[in-house]
A and B are shown apart, each in its own frame.
Chain A
Amino acid sequence: QSVLTQPPSVSAAPGQKVTISCSGSSSNIGNNYVSWYQQLPGTAPKLLIYDNNKRPSGIPDRFSGSKSGTSATLGITGLQTGDEADYYCGTWDSSLSAGHVFGTGTKVTVL
């Protein structure tokens, strides 16, 4: 029942770049900040990007975020085996059932 749509999977070789899209609407992405979370296997999610394109302390600049209209994108450059994980976008939804909403999740595979 996620209101934000992501591709189920993306893959690339080590050192390459991947992008993950997150599509929403005017009630969520269109009028609110977007965040991105990395979930390594068997662990809790970790904040990667907040306020569309800001990185918390300790997150390498290989990770970048952008937003345009009702969509957002996460980019990962210089792909490493340790980047294999599930990635989720998140934002606030201002509709009748207001609250945080998450994307459907994208599995990144390093070939």
Chain B
Amino acid sequence: QVQLVQSGAEVKKPGASVKVSCKASGYTFTSYGISWVRQAPGQGLEWMGWISAYNGNTNYAQKLQGRVTMTTDTSTSTAYMELRSLRSDDTAVYYCARDANTALDYWGQGTLVTVSS
């Protein structure tokens, strides 16, 4: 069965960086892209960007351009999302999801990133 397992919770200071991992299993990793979505406390879903697991092409949300980098390691079927220059409003649960183009069909369990001094 398809599973996406994310790394554990992180606490970071403002200005620092965080890198969240997402290990996929149960399907051919390079056949789908991975999207990253975040959810601030009590708020809705915000799409952050997408990476092709086939060739590494990326498409980032305009709001995060310059601060976010998404990568994949096909040898371990793992996707990564790094966010730099963290601010308090980056505090959120970060999700990876398998991107089937017209929908995000499987989601990771989420990783809480807390930014606090």
Contacts and interface: CB of A to CB of B under 8 A. Distances in A.
Q: Do A and B bind each other?
A: yes
Question: Which residue, A35, A46, A47, has most C-beta atoms of chain B within 10 A?
Answer: A47
Contacts of A92: 102
Interface in B73-117: 95, 97, 100, 102-110
Interface of B: 35, 37, 44-47, 49-50, 59, 61-63, 95, 97, 100, 102-110
Given A97-B62, A99-B61, A47 B105 contact: yes
A33 B103 contact: yes
Interface residues of A, number: 26
Contacts of B107: 44-47
B4 to A, nearest CB: 9
B108 A44 contact: yes
A99 B50 CA distance: 8
Interface string A11-49: 000000000000000000000110101000000111100
Contacts of A100: 35, 37, 47, 50, 104
B107 to A, nearest CB: 4
Contacts of A50: 100, 102-103, 105
